[in-house]
Each structure stands twice: as structure tokens, then as C-alpha cells.
Amino acid sequence: MLEKEFVITGKETHPTIRGAFPGPAAQRIVHDDETYLATTTKTGPVAIREARGCVALTVDGDILLDFAAGVGVNATGHSHPRVVQAVKDQAERFLHFAGTDFYYEVQNKLAKTLGELVPGAAKQKVFFTNSGTESIEAALKIAAWSTQRSQFIAFRRAFHGRTLGSLALTNSKTVHRERFRPMAGVHHVPFPNAFRNPFGIDGYADPDRLTSAVLGMVEELLETALPPSEAAAMFVEPVQGEGGYNVPPMDFYPKLKKLLDGHGILLVADEVQTGLGRTGKLFAMEHFGTKPSITTLAKALGSGLPIGAAVFDAKLDFGVKGAHSNTFGGNPIACAAANATIDVIREERLVERAARMGPQVGKRLREIQKETTGIGDVRGLGLMWAVEWVKDPKTKQHDAKKRDAVLQECYRRGLVVLPCGQSAIRFIPPLVITDEQLAGGLDVFRDAARAVG
């Protein structure tokens, strides 16, 4: 039980730092982590003791505002009471029974709901996984099995996961791929990034030209290097995530799908980060009016429980037992958490909240851009935004050093944020965030950016 003075409500609107950050307890945990755990992607010395809603309490008693949401996982906030209760109730019934081999209702309920909600074919099926990267692996196998083709297309700066199949699609940073060969056959083309693209096009001023340029690259690929008869699917993030929160022109995906359909190439939407309301639509592909053949999910689906899914046109099903399976996919506790998550998103109208708050975030970040130096671009949808630092607005040369300095200053002042791309900071607070918490967190970011200069 926490000491009374350390209990938080989740309604706090401003950070409270009790002393030097990180404090001594956090420093001990960081030391033990570095001693006993594998090197991964640790970003800042934030050691958490408790969290509620959009607020986290550190082991040293510091109160932080969380604008990272467990890398987009805690869309319903930390430890939402409805989700916690669903987990408790299911845990008392049974913990696991291998849903790929046997049957239980909580899994069927979730599959039926996702098949109805996810944009796609009239009849869809679901394969449950434990993570986003495993959802991508499932999509790769579904596409390859159903088309009997072995090659794939993805975008430069894409991030689709770190297991070897998904890693072949990932093209965000060389560190992700170095020393991990061989990989599946994947061909990469430029993403229609309005701010930074190889064509020198200002995509904000001329989105049609940018769309045409990228589609031309896909067509050229299919004419020169990749026979269409060998291409199973193209994988896309509706909004690029780890690669920089890049938003394409609104007419891009409808035109891309038309091009792919002409060659019998499936469109796979990686909604692992964008799904479940993050962009102000339940699924980001709804912004573009495009229905994929396969959609991959994870992160926010379980509100913190490890669960993912590949939702796909039923006509693409394996149809043969053993072609694909796993052990923990569709775990009953994770499914219970996911069912409760969807209920919370619907009943608390979190998609609508994200859509309403999105323009507020964009407006405030652009004001901060004008008040500080070095921010070259502000971009996003709903409650998924990023600011990118550049050394020179004309050359758009990345300024990762300044980005990293602002990042650490945010931590020191009590705001939890994450980097993305080569020089951007992303803002992905829980969708339950209040107007006051949003304003308070953005004020902290402003102060941190000013302090760095």
C-alpha cells in the first residue's frame, strides 16, 4: 500500500518534482536495469511506482504528466477501472486455455467486434497475437498464403516491428536492421512526406504533385524491379509512427489502393499505433476513406495487456489447420481487457475527444514553434502529433542534439514524452486526458524548449 501522501487521483494537471530528477530511488532502479536487463530502447530515467489516468508517480514521489501513454498503449489511461475490473473477473474464471486450439466466448466476442469495426471486407476474420510485430508476421503469412506470392512493398522510414519478417519491412533506422540478415524480400519506395521528401516538393502547398510522384515510384518499381505477379502485398502505416509521425495527403491511399488492385496486390494497414481512436477516427484509414485487405492492431487494444490482432478479408483465410498458429494469442485475460477497452472508448466517446483536441494541440504547438528556435515542422492528427528540430529551415538538416536536449529537459520538468524519427518529439497522451492536463503538459514542453534555446 502506498503512503497516503503518495496516492494520486489521475486528475492532477501539473507535474510536481520534489528534488533533483531523477531521485535516488530511480537511480538505483536504473542501475539495476542496466546490470540485469538486455539493452533495448530506454529513453529517460523515469521509474514509475503508480499511475492513474494521464498521471504517473515516480518511486521518488515525483508527479509526472504522461504524454507517451506507454508508447501509445494506454489510450484509456493508466489502470482504467473498467479494464482493471474486467481483468480481475476473468482471472478468477481462468487464466489461459490456448484459444488457437480450444474455444471460449470472450475471444469470440472480441473477434466479432473487431470484424465489425475495422474498415475492410464485408466479412472479416481475426488472428490474435501478443504484440504488433507478431500481428505483422501474421499479415505477411496471410498475404503470402492467399496470393501464393513471396515479395512485398513498404515505405522508406516505415516501422513495422523488430522480428525478422516485420524487420524486413521496417526501414526507419539502420540500427534496427544491422547484423540481422537475411530477411524477407521487401522493396521500399519513398513515403509521401509533405515536409521532407526526395522530390523537393512542398507537400503542404502541392499535395497532388507529391501523391503523383510517389505513385509514379510504385509504378516504376512494378515495371522495372518487381514483377507484379510476385508481389503479395504492400504494407503501410496510415500515419508513419516511429519514422516521424508523417501524415500523407488525404487522397494518397485511395489512389494507391486503386493502383495495387489493378495488379492483385493486397493493401495491409499497420494500425498498431494509429488504431483505436488515436488520430480522431477509430482507425486512421477512415481519414482516407480506404478499406485495406488486412489491418494489424496491438498497443491500445488491451489498455496495457499484451494483445494484438490481424483482421482480414475472410476470403484470405488459410483454410488449412496448422498453416499458422501460436500459444498465447487470444489469451482470455487479454481479450477481456480488449473488450473492456473498446467499451470504454465507445462509452466515454474517446474518439470524439481526440478529434476535438487535435486542432488545439496543433495550434498550440505551432505557437510554440514561433516562440522558440529550431522547430522546422509540426504535424499530426487527433492526439498523435510531432515537432521536428532542424539546424537550418532551408536545408532542413536534422538537429537530433537539440531534440535530445529538449527531451531530457521535459523529463526534468515532469513531462513524459518520446522521440521519433531522426529529430522529432512525439505527443501521444492517453485519450482520457483533460483539457487542463493537455494545456499543462504543453506549457511544460514550451518551457523546456525555451530553456534549451
pLDDT, tens only, 328-372 = 999 999 999 999 999 999 999 999 999 999 999 999 999 999 999
In a domain, 415, yes or no: yes
pLDDT in tens, 297-320: 999 999 999 999 999 999 999 999
Question: Could you list the residue range(s) of the whole structural domain that residue 16 is in?
Answer: 4-66+351-452
Residue 423 above 50 pLDDT?
yes
Q: How many CA atoms lie within 13 A of 135 on its CB side?
A: 28
Q: What confidence score (pLDDT) does residue 182 get?
A: 57
Whether residues 363 and 314 fall in one domain = no
Domain assignment of residue 382, yes or no = yes
Q: 453 is written with which cell numbers?
A: 534555446
Q: Rounded mean pLDDT of 123-130?
A: 98
- The pLDDT of residue 222 is above 60: yes
Among 314, 347, 380, where does a domain finish? 347
Instruction: For residues 87 and 233, state if they share a domain.
Output: yes
Q: Are 145 and 323 in contact (CB under 8 A)?
A: yes
Read off the pLDDT of each residue in 217-243 and give the average, rounded to a whole number.
Answer: 97
pTM reported for the whole predicted model: 0.96
Sequence-distant (≥ 6) Cβ neighbours of residue 47 within 8 angstroms: 22, 25, 26, 29, 30, 58, 59, 60
Q: What is the DSSP string of 7-48?
A: ---S---S-B--SSSS-HHHHHHHHHHHHHS------S---E
Q: Tell whether the model's pLDDT for residue 397 goes beyond 50.
A: yes
Cα distance between residue 392 and residue 381, in whole Å: 25
Predicted local confidence at residue 60, as pLDDT: 95
Average of per-residue pLDDT across 258-268: 98
**Domain boundary pick from 347, 370, 389:** 347
pLDDT band at 453 (very low <50, low <70, confident <90, very high): confident
- The residue from 277, 312, 347 where one domain ends is 347
Mean pLDDT, residues 71-98 taken together: 98
Q: How confident is the model at residue 78 (pLDDT cuts 50, 70, 90)?
A: very high
How many structural domains compose the chain? 2
- Of 116-125, 172-181, 274-283, 434-443, where does mean pLDDT reach its minimum? 172-181
Q: Specify the DSSP element, H or E, that contains 292.
A: none
Q: Are residues 148 and 181 in the same domain?
A: yes
Q: Are residues 239 and 159 in the same domain?
A: yes
Averaged pLDDT for residues 390-403: 95
pLDDT value of position 3: 47
Is the residue at 161 inside a domain?
yes
Residue 215: CATH number of its domain: 3.40.640.10
The β-bridge relationship of strands 424-427 and 418-420 is: antiparallel
The answer to whether residue 245 scores a pLDDT higher than 50 is yes
Q: What is the pLDDT of residues 174-216, one digit of tens each?
A: 777 777 665 679 999 999 999 999 999 999 999 999 999 999 9
Instruction: Check whether 2 has a pLDDT greater than 60.
Output: no
Mean of all residue pLDDT scores within the chain: 95
Query: Is position 143 within any domain?
Result: yes
Instruction: Please say whether the dihedral angle defined by the alpha carbons of residues 374, 379, 383 and 386, taken in this order, is positive or negative.
Output: negative
Work out the average pLDDT over 278-295.
98
pLDDT at 31 over 70: yes
| pLDDT (tens digit per residue) in 45-58 | 999 999 999 999 99
Look at residue 424 and give its three-state secondary structure: strand
Q: Give the mean model confidence (pLDDT) for residues 67-78.
A: 98
One domain, residues 305 and 412: no
Report the percent of the chain where pLDDT is more than 90: 92
Whether residue 120 sits in one domain with residue 234: yes
Average pLDDT estimate for 22-31 = 96
178 and 198 belong to one structural domain: yes
Whether residues 305 and 383 share a domain: the answer is no
My answer on whether 54 and 173 are in the same domain is no
Can you give the pLDDT at residue 6?
A: 60
Q: Is residue 100 part of a domain?
A: yes
CATH of the domain at 436: 3.90.1150.10
Hey, what's the torsion of the CAs at 131, 156, 261, 117, to 10 degrees?
30
DSSP string, 342-411: HHHHHHTTHHHHHHHHHHHHHHHHHHHHHHSSSEEEEEEETTEEEEEEEEETTTTEE-HHHHHHHHHHHH
